[in-house]
Amino acid sequence: MNEFTSTNLPEQSLLGKTTSYKAEYDATLLFPIPRAGKREEIGISNTLPFFGVDIWNAYEVSWLNLRGKPQVAIATVTAPADSPNIVESKSFKLYLNSFNQTRLAGPEALISLLQTDLSAGFGAPVYVSLTMQDQFTQLRMQELDGVLLDRLDIDVESYTPDPALLHADHEAAPVEETLVSHLLKSNCLVTGQPDWGSVQIRYVGAAIDQEALLRYLIGFRNHNEFHEQCVERIFVDIMQQCKPQKLSVYARYTRRGGLDINPWRSNFSTGQKPDNARNARQ
């Protein structure tokens, strides 16, 4: 298994920099970044208050068979939330492109390399699957289910996340509900480029004020953080401000560079990994 440093900083990555693409396999292109720094910023130090996964879908995957004929597939990579690192997305793209002129015995050989290299990058075992051309018609599209927050006609004055906006009615009986918004937008931590997403919040507990929650989510509009970090910030802020008994936060982000990243964080004891069906904007 390849060894990666665990002290990489986002600004040391290739984000926003001119890059030469390598067309032959090179695992050293992967750039892991420790999760710990950003987690400490939101008050997570040792025990995680959630479990979950980051689901990556890669739509620009190609390699050569042993006769030199190009092959294409869609790769899905599932990394555990308790892995010590994330992998910076541009380095992920460059790594995948390094297979473009690489001859492999078949899809199984590609999966083996991806699992080995990405497990080393994330610092924990990842699961990799390929959807081949003859399976493309089986892929589904569906929207996140739940009550749509975007229906609310609200005034918005702040475009930075403010957890003080969040509150719940602890005088009323607890509820279980699922809320959805397609108005999530944040910006890349390094380049400031926009990241567009939809978010689903499922919880059990005191009813969360929906207008306040929508204002809070819109507040990420000028916020610079990676996808995974935004979802964890949302989870922690809701837990601290609204104190639900159970909470799950799932975001589906639109793709950039042929990759989409879909983080899910939950403390539901019976929580199962969410469906990977893409939504209309993906």
Instruction: Output the domain CATH number for residue 255.
Output: 3.30.1130.10
pLDDT at 225: 96
- Rg (C-alpha) for the chain, rounded Å, is 19
Amino acid identity at 177: E
Count Cβ atoms below 10 Å from residue 209 Cβ, excluding itself.
Answer: 16
Quote the CA–CA distance of 276 and 129 in Å, as a whole number.
12
Structure tokens, 15: 């984000």
153 vs 191, residue with greater confidence: 153
User: Using CA atoms, how far apart are residues 41 and 35, in angstroms rounded to an integer?
Assistant: 10
pLDDT value, residue 20: 66
Q: Among residues 184, 188, 209, which one has the least CA distance to residue 197?
A: 184
Position 18 scores a pLDDT of: 59
Contacts of residue 153, Cβ cutoff 8 Å, sequence gap at least 6: none
Place 270 in a pLDDT band, splitting at 50, 70 and 90.
confident
Is 116 within the bounds of a domain? yes
Question: Identity (one letter) of the amino acid at 75?
Answer: A
Q: Any idea which of 23-27, 61-65, 114-118, 208-212 has the lowest mean pLDDT?
A: 23-27
Spell out the residues 6+ positions from residue 271 whose beta carbon is closer than 8 angstroms to its own.
Answer: 51, 248
The average confidence (pLDDT) of the chain is 93
Quick one: 218 and 119 in the same domain?
A: no
Q: Is 273 a domain residue?
A: no
* Contact in structure between 274 and 264 (CB atoms under 8 Å): yes
Q: At residue 11, does pLDDT exceed 80?
A: no
Across the chain, the runs of DSSP E, i.e. the strands, are 32-34, 51-64, 70-80, 85-87, 127-132, 147-148, 168-169, 175-187, 194-205, 207-208, 246-253, 259-266
pLDDT at res. 180: 98
Co-location of 127 and 192 in the same domain = no
pTM of the prediction?
A: 0.92
Mean of pLDDT values over 147-153? 98
Lowest model confidence (mean pLDDT) among 65-74, 158-167, 271-280: 271-280
- Out of 104, 138, 172, a domain closes at 138
| Domain boundary residue, one of 98, 116, 138 | 138
Mean pLDDT, range 146-158, rounded to an integer: 97
Active-site residue list: 188, 195
Please check whether residues 173 and 105 belong to one and the same domain: no
Return the higher-pLDDT residue of 238 and 46: 238
16-51: per-residue pLDDT in tens? 555 667 778 999 999 999 999 999 999 998 899 999
Is residue 278 assigned to a domain?
Answer: no
pLDDT at res. 189: 87
pLDDT of residue 134: 96
Span 161-193, pLDDT tens digits: 999 999 999 999 999 999 999 999 999 988 889
Same domain, 224 and 260: yes
Angle at CA of residue 30, ends 27 and 31, nearest 5°: 150
Tell me how far CA of residue 105 lies from CA of 46, 133, 156, 234, 275, in angstroms. 43, 17, 55, 43, 31
| pLDDT above 80: residue 2 | no
Write the DSSP symbol of residue 55. Answer: E
pLDDT of amino acid 191: 86
Domain that holds residue 81: 10-138
- Read off the pLDDT of each residue in 132-155 and give the average, rounded to a whole number: 97
* Sign, CA torsion 126/91/161/281: negative
Same domain membership, residue 38 and residue 87:
yes
pLDDT band at 279 (very low <50, low <70, confident <90, very high): very high
Give, rounded to a whole angstrom, the gap between the first and last alpha carbons of the chain: 33
Decide: helix, strand or coil at residue 148: strand
Q: 7 — alpha (psi -120 to 50), left (phi > 0) or beta?
A: alpha
Task: Residue 250: name the closest of 214, 195, 201 by CA.
Answer: 201
pLDDT at 21: 72
Q: Comparing C-alpha atoms, which of 241, 200, 197 is closest to residue 221? A: 197
